[in-house]
Amino acid sequence: MSALVSLFFVILVIAFLILVSCIKIVPQANAYVVERLGAYQSTWSVGLHFKIPIVDRIARRINLKEQVADFDPQPVITKDNVTMRIDTVVFFQITDPKLYAYGVENPIRAIENLTATTLRNIIGDLELDQTLTSRETINTKMRASLDEATDPWGIKVNRVELKNIIPPAEIQNAMEKQMKAERERREAVTRAEGEKKASVTVAEGKKEAMILQAEADKQSAILRAEAEKEKMIREAEGEAEAILKVQSAKAEGIRLIKEAGADQAVLQIKSLEAFSDAANGQATKIIIPSELQGLAGLATSIKEVLKD
């Protein structure tokens, strides 16, 4: 009896373990391809699933995340017969687990070979310089070609990047020399432009200095002329004022003589003296009115008596 109980207990444990093993939980971003008796049955998505013992089995566990495949450098030949090595990086994602499981054997290897052949076809239509400067164009063409070719495999190619373009050593040396020559040329041009700007700045400075000096000389000449003019005006005003004072004094003297009751003869003598002062020793000939000529001798006699 105890043996039967033990056997029953063992069978129960085995049945429980089989039942537990048939319960499967599919995690996020994953899919399971299930086969029944060797034929495709279904694709399990995220969640809890149960399979029939012995009859059903999980054929493939597939990661649905975007994946990256970094392939080794591939030798390619350009249109101008230059051999170079290019390695590529392919970003892809599995969109149909069934096609991915049954579409092609070793999908990653298939993508690598397809990438190499597509790259050779594209580079074969380009020259070396175009290859080095057309990365974006090459990436776009490769992505479109690979995406179309991998559709039957349940794979979507999201992006293709050329990681490295490795030309031959002699081409690299020539490119380095060319880049060095270009840098030296740019340096020489920059230095020449700097010297030119410096020369222009110096010339403009000299020109401005000459203009300022000329303007200063002009202002100085104007000030000297104005000072000379002011001096002449002041001298003329002084002479005019002196003459005015002399004439005023003489007129005042004549007025006083007249007020003192001097006769006509004295007044005529004073007028004669006024004529003499007006000549100021500069005139060689003085015309005296006829009524004063008779008094000339009288004036001379009076001066002699006064001297004695």
pLDDT digits (tens, 9 = 90+) for 245-263: 777 777 776 666 666 655 5
Answer yes or no: is 197 within a domain: no
Confidence of residue 6 (pLDDT cuts 50, 70, 90): confident
Residue 148 has pLDDT above 80, yes or no: yes
- Tell me: the pLDDT tens digits for 274-303? 555 544 545 455 555 555 455 445 444 444
Specify whether 137 is located in the same domain as 81: yes
Specify whether 277 is located in the same domain as 296: yes
Specify whether 53 is located in the same domain as 80: no
Q: Which of 44, 63, 82 is the last residue of a domain?
A: 63
Cα-Cα end-to-end distance for the chain: 201
Which helix (H) or strand (E) covers residue 66, if one does?
A: none
* Domains in the chain, number: 3
Domain limits at 20? Answer: 2-63
Q: What is the pLDDT of residue 292?
A: 47
- Tell me: the pLDDT tens digits for 238-248? 887 877 777 77
* pTM for the full predicted model: 0.55
Specify whether 114 is located in the same domain as 40: no
The conformational region for residue 89 under phi > 0 = left, psi -120 to 50 = alpha, else beta, is beta
Q: How far is it, in rounded angstroms, from Cα 44 to Cα 59?
A: 11
Specify whether 159 is located in the same domain as 71: yes
Q: How far is it, in rounded angstroms, from Cα 245 to Cα 256?
A: 16
Hey, CA dihedral for 94, 98, 101, 105, is it positive or negative?
negative
Q: Which of 144, 167, 190 is the last residue of a domain?
A: 167
Q: What is the pLDDT of residue 295?
A: 47
Q: Mean of the pLDDT values across residues 59-80?
A: 90
Residue 266 has pLDDT above 50, yes or no: yes
Answer yes or no: is 133 within a domain: yes
Specify whether 72 is located in the same domain as 59: no
Specify whether 80 is located in the same domain as 137: yes
Q: Is 82 helix (H, G, I), strand (E, B) or coil?
A: coil
Specify whether 162 is located in the same domain as 81: yes
Answer yes or no: is 237 within a domain: no
Q: Which of 17, 37, 63 is the last residue of a domain?
A: 63
Percent helix, percent strand, percent coil in the chain, to nearest 5: 60, 20, 20
Q: Which of 136, 163, 149 is nearest to 72 (CA)?
A: 163
